[in-house]
Amino acid sequence: MESLEKSKYNIFVFLQEMIKMIPLHTLYLLLVALINAFLPTVQTLAIAEFVNRVEGAYGGVSDIQMVVIPLIILLGIVIFKQMMPSVTNLINVSAQNHLKIVLRNRFMKKQAVLQYRYIEDNESCALIYRVCEKAENRFWTGYRTVCNGIELVIKCAALIGIVMQASILSGAAILLVSVPLFYLAYKTGKQNYVLQKDAVEIKRRYQYLSKILSDRNHAKERTMFGYSKRITEEYDRLSDYANQKEAVIEKKRYANMKSGSLTMVMLAVIIMLLLLPALSSGKLSNGLYLGLVTSILNLVQGMSWNLAGIMQGTADLNAYLNDVGVFLSMEEKADADVEPLKIPCFQVETIEFRNVSFRYPGREEYVLKDCSFVLQGNKCYAVVGKNGAGKSTLTKLLTGLYEDYEGQILINGKNLQEYRYGELKWMFSVVFQDFARYALSFRDNIWVGNVNENNVQLLEQVIKKLELEACVQELPGGIDSTLGKLEKDGVDLSGGQWQKLAIARLLYSEAPINILDEPTAALDPKGEAKVYEMFWQVNEEKFTILITHRLGAARMADEILVLDQGRIVEQGTHKALTELESGLYKEMFESQRCWYET
Ligand code: ADP
């Protein structure tokens, strides 16, 4: 797997995209941030004017009515501060709703066209989850952090500007202390982010344990194995540990805030003292002095609460944007989202693996090494081999999920990679070991096997062939009953019925090549052999590859291929392979014989 570290999705790209996705919301928040940023300055000047004019009126220099204007401005500021949070709350909700639609759409599309290797890789999967989970919230919170940052910087700069006009020394003092204070807060913010990431990871683990302890899917095993007590202990241990970590973060944050605010209070006192000469020389009016003191104290209060939060938010945003960048630059599969594309008059003649070698991305060892074999279109095959021999990998290569193999795979003599991906989708129908159980109606569970077809007759035939009629009749809503546990009235099927339903999808599809990749692994060997027997009977006319490590079903195939150490070591009929003096198939068959004898 290539490095998941590099990313070009920086804060500037992020801001551009935010403006594109939700221009009005971003503009609103920026405006509010700017107004908030300049508010202390306006407030300072208004207080100054107010005090000066009141002084003037009492000294008989000016008219008391002159006091009205700064008073109106101060009133306006109060009203704005009162109103703004509720309007902003509404905007927050609306912005996230908009983002949810745009981002979900975009991220889902990206996920749908990703190269298959990412889906199977744990690290990539975790990253995709981190990016897509509540993306709208992460984007909006990130943007708010940026606006808060802009607001704080402007607030400080404007205040420093006014102070500098009265006393350069005081302005320089604020600047001198502010810069390291910002830096310190950024470092603490980053440290907190790392600590929090650990805590989130632990939380994820104990939340999973909580799921095991409470959800329906684990109920049977929970009762049978009686592991609840042990898992509860582990849950308690992990949640205590996560709480301790969070307590450390809180303590750090608090200490950081308090030390920050203490420094700022000291700074405020120093500034007030430094400004005294300017006040007594008349360079600074009483009003402006009072206004400045009020604003500095306000800023101190705001800084102590906001600075660490903004810095932690920035570290969080940076890490998130890095993940987003990696996700968006993940390689896509051409045509990945196309619908199956029928090839007119197509019939399977041969499928050939010619010296195929393959290893999974990032792995040293080859799963297939110089693997060669030919399958004829008019026969049914079984591929057998021990667990981990590479049987499923064969399916993944044949169906085009992985393309970076060495050697050639040919269908009817034509290189697999020369077929369009839509054509391959049409060509193959596979039932995997971990086949899906869709929480859809019984009918739709079969229909998804061929979404281009709405053939009621074929559907009925398939149900009949697989002896599922009684099962349908017993369902409360017949064929339209919703299956699964997602809905309150959803009906659950037995394991065997779900398996048949997965096979029904395959029969309903018009794919000329059928692959069964151990979908019956959950059944006992005899049960499995029975299902396959039925499958052979109902699906004679289609080219089928059956993959299994249990040989009961393989016997029914026209030919058996034995996969071992990355290559086909034996190929022939059951009879021919068991008549060999020695061989892997014979050995496996002998050791499994007792599974099938009554
Ligand atoms: P089989 O179907 O014969 O049981 P598989 O084809 O599933 O075997 O796996 C063959 C080998 O490849 C195993 O060692 C397995 O661990 C490894 N493998 C399977 N999938 C992946 C993957 N996505 N990434 C890395 N290794 C894998």
- What mean pLDDT do residues 5-25 have? 87
In a domain, 231, yes or no: no
Whether residue 181 is found in the same domain as residue 309: yes
pLDDT in tens, 307-366: 777 877 888 898 889 989 999 999 998 777 788 888 998 999 999 999 999 999 888 999
What's the gap in Å between 351 CA and the centre of ligand 1? 22
How far is residue 363 from each of residues 1, 121, 360, 367, 389, measured CA to CA in Å?
Answer: 8, 11, 5, 9, 16
Q: Which of 273, 300, 329 is the last residue of a domain?
A: 329
Ligand 1, atom 27, lies closest to the CA of 360
What's the gap in Å between 407 CA and the centre of ligand 1? 19
Q: How many domains does the chain have?
A: 2
Whether residue 365 is found in the same domain as residue 324: no
The pLDDT, as a whole number, for residue 486 is 60
What's the gap in Å between 555 CA and the centre of ligand 1? 25
Query: Is residue 122 within 6 Å of ligand 1 at its C-beta?
Result: no
Ligand 1, atom 21, lies closest to the CA of 360
DSSP calls for 346-366: ----EEEEEEEEE--TT-SS-
Whether residue 371 is found in the same domain as residue 297: no
Whether residue 386 is found in the same domain as residue 308: no
Whether residue 294 is found in the same domain as residue 430: no
Query: Is residue 385 within 6 Å of ligand 1 at its C-beta?
Result: yes
Query: Is residue 566 within 6 Å of ligand 1 at its C-beta?
Result: no
pLDDT in tens, 18-47: 999 999 999 999 999 999 888 888 888 888
Query: Is residue 392 within 6 Å of ligand 1 at its C-beta?
Result: yes
pTM: 0.72
State which ligand 1 atom lies nearest to the alpha carbon of 386: 3
Identify the weakest region by mean pLDDT among 42-46, 476-480, 482-486, 518-522: 518-522
Whether residue 177 is found in the same domain as residue 298: yes
Pair of tokens at residue 524: 């006992």
d(CA 132, CA 105): 11
Whether residue 285 is found in the same domain as residue 412: no
What's the gap in Å between 360 CA and the centre of ligand 1? 8
In a domain, 337, yes or no: no
Mutate to test the pocket of ligand 1, among 364, 393, 395 (most ligand atoms within 8 A of CB): 393
pLDDT in tens, 427-454: 998 888 778 888 888 888 898 888 777 8
Q: For residue 375, what is the enclosing H or E element?
A: strand 368-376
Query: Is residue 398 within 6 Å of ligand 1 at its C-beta?
Result: no
- Which range, 408-422, 464-478, 551-565, has the best average confidence (pLDDT)? 408-422
Could you tell me if 376 and 317 are in contact, meaning their C-beta atoms sit under 8 angstroms apart? Answer: no
pLDDT in tens, 56-104: 888 777 677 778 888 999 999 999 989 888 999 999 999 999 999 999 9
The pLDDT, as a whole number, for residue 595 is 66
Per the structure, the complete domain to which residue 466 belongs is given by: 350-596
Q: What is the DSSP letter of 64?
A: G
Q: Which of 23-56 are b and which e, b meaning 16 or more Cβ less than 10 Å from the residue's Cβ?
A: eebbebbbebbeebbebbbbbbbbbbbbbbbbeb
Which amino acid, residue 573? T
The pLDDT, as a whole number, for residue 2 is 46
Whether residue 264 is found in the same domain as residue 402: no
Whether residue 477 is found in the same domain as residue 355: yes
Whether residue 480 is found in the same domain as residue 419: yes
How far is residue 240 from each of residues 207, 235, 236, 244, 412, measured CA to CA in Å?
Answer: 13, 8, 6, 6, 62
In a domain, 32, yes or no: yes
Query: Is residue 80 within 6 Å of ligand 1 at its C-beta?
Result: no
Rounded to 10 deg, the angle between the 135-166 and 286-328 helix axes is 150
- What mean pLDDT do residues 256-278 have? 73
Q: Is 82 exposed, middle or buried (0-12, 13-18, 19+ CB in 10 A)?
A: exposed
State which ligand 1 atom lies nearest to the alpha carbon of 387: 4
Q: Which of 299, 329, 359 is the last residue of a domain?
A: 329
pLDDT in tens, 108-164: 999 888 988 898 887 888 788 888 888 999 999 999 999 998 998 888 888 778 778
With cut-offs at 50, 70 and 90, classify the pLDDT of residue 3.
very low
The pLDDT, as a whole number, for residue 1 is 47
In a domain, 335, yes or no: no
pLDDT in tens, 290-307: 877 777 777 776 666 677
Q: Which of 296, 329, 362 is the last residue of a domain?
A: 329
What's the gap in Å between 394 CA and the centre of ligand 1? 10
The pLDDT, as a whole number, for residue 24 is 96
Three-state SS at 329: coil
In a domain, 215, yes or no: no
State which ligand 1 atom lies nearest to the alpha carbon of 563: 3
Question: Positive or negative, the Cα torsion across 73, 75, 76, 78?
Answer: positive
Whether residue 475 is found in the same domain as residue 406: yes
pLDDT in tens, 378-402: 788 999 998 889 999 999 999 998 9
d(CA 346, CA 543): 12
In a domain, 204, yes or no: no
Nearest C-alpha neighbor of 427 from the set 305, 358, 513:
513
Whether residue 28 is found in the same domain as residue 69: yes
Q: In this prediction, what percent of the chain has a pLDDT beyond 90?
A: 27
> What CATH number corresponds to the domain at position 28?
1.20.1560.10
Query: Is residue 125 within 6 Å of ligand 1 at its C-beta?
Result: no
In a domain, 288, yes or no: yes
Query: Is residue 388 within 6 Å of ligand 1 at its C-beta?
Result: yes
- What mean pLDDT do residues 554-578 have? 91
Query: Is residue 362 within 6 Å of ligand 1 at its C-beta?
Result: no
> What CATH number corresponds to the domain at position 460?
3.40.50.300
Could you tell me if 245 and 202 are in contact, meaning their C-beta atoms sit under 8 angstroms apart? Answer: yes
In a domain, 22, yes or no: yes
